[in-house]
C-alpha cells in the first residue's frame, strides 16, 4: 500500500470525521490524517509538515479556502501537494475559482461519499505525480542543455586565436592571468599531459641524440 498523508482543513468536526471514515480501509493507500479547523491553522500545519494532499473546505471561520494558495507561499512550481476543494455550496463559479487558484480538483460536499472521495484523491494524486515527473524531466533537460552550451562556448573559444607567450608558451586567460599551456587545456578541455623531450631539444640542451631504437645516445660532437 502507498502511504499518503492528508491534511483536512474544515471547521466541521462531523465532516472531518466523515472523510476519515470514508477513506478508512482503502485498498490502495495507507492514509494518515492531520486536522485543522481554521484556515490559519491549516496554513501553519503545511509549513511544519510535508503533506501529500489537502482536503480544503471553501468556507472557514477566518477566510475562504480559495485564499489558501495566496497565503501559503507555494513557489513558482505550485504547492508541493495536491489539493481537493470541498464546499457545501457548490457552483461553477466556485469550482472555477478553486481550480484557477491552485486546487487540483473540486467536489461539492453533497456528492461526497466513500467512492467519490477515494476516486478524487486517487486521480489528484496521479495527476500531481505526473506533473512532478514532467517537471523533473524538464529540469534535467534544461541542465543538460546548459552544460552543452557551456561546452560549446569553450569549443568556440578554443577554436579561435589563443594568446600564447612566444617565450615560455604560457596561455593568457580571460581574466588576464597567464597559465601554463598544460594547465590551461587540462582545465578547459580535460586533457591530461605526459612529458618527454623531442629529438631537437635533446640534442640542443643535453648534447644527446636518439639511436634507431629511440634510445638516447651520446653525441659525437
The answer on 173 and 64 residing in a single domain is: no
The answer on 90 and 15 residing in a single domain is: yes
Strands (DSSP E) along 13-146, which ranges? 29-36, 53-57, 59-60, 63-64, 82-87, 105-108
Choose the weakest-confidence range: 10-24, 26-40, 80-94: 80-94
Tell me the pTM: 0.62
The answer on 175 and 126 residing in a single domain is: no
The answer on 132 and 171 residing in a single domain is: no
d(C-alpha 183, C-alpha 190), whole Å: 9
What's the domain count of the chain?
Answer: 2
221 — pLDDT class (breaks 50, 70, 90): very low
Q: What is the CATH number of the domain that holds 27?
A: 3.40.50.2300
State the residue range of the domain holding 96.
2-136
Taking only the tens place, the pLDDT of each residue in 36-90 is 999 999 999 998 888 999 999 988 999 888 888 887 756 555 678 999 998 877 6
Q: What is the pLDDT of residue 70?
A: 81
d(C-alpha 66, C-alpha 85), whole Å: 8
Q: What is the pLDDT of residue 158?
A: 63
Q: Are 97 and 119 in contact (CB under 8 A)?
A: no
SS3 73: coil
Amino acid at each position: 500500500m502507498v502511504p499518503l498523508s492528508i491534511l483536512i482543513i474544515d471547521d466541521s468536526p462531523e465532516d472531518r470525521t466523515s472523510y476519515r471514515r470514508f477513506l478508512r480501509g482503502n485498498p490502495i493507500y495507507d492514509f494518515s490524517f492531520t486536522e485543522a479547523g481554521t484556515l490559519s491553522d491549516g496554513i501553519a500545519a503545511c509549513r511544519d509538515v510535508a503533506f501529500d494532499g489537502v482536503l480544503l473546505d471553501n468556507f472557514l471561520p477566518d477566510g475562504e479556502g480559495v485564499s489558501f494558495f495566496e497565503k501559503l507561499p507555494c513557489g513558482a512550481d505550485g504547492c508541493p501537494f495536491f489539493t481537493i476543494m470541498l464546499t457545501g455550496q457548490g457552483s461553477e463559479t466556485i469550482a472555477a475559482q478553486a481550480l484557477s487558484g491552485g486546487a487540483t480538483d473540486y467536489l461539492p460536499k453533497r456528492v461526497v461519499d466513500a467512492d467519490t472521495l477515494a476516486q478524487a484523491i486517487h486521480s489528484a494524486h496521479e495527476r500531481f505525480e505526473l506533473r512532478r515527473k514532467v517537471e523533473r524531466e524538464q529540469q534535467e533537460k534544461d541542465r543538460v542543455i546548459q552544460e552543452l552550451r557551456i561546452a560549446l562556448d569553450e569549443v568556440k573559444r578554443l577554436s579561435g586565436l589563443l594568446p600564447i607567450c612566444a617565450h615560455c608558451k604560457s596561455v593568457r586567460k580571460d581574466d588576464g592571468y597567464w597559465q601554463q599551456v598544460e594547465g590551461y587545456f587540462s582545465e578547459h578541455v580535460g586533457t591530461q599531459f605526459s612529458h618527454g623531450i623531442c629529438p631537437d631539444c635533446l640534442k640542443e640542451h643535453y648534447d644527446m641524440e636518439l639511436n634507431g631504437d629511440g634510445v638516447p645516445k651520446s653525441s659525437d660532437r
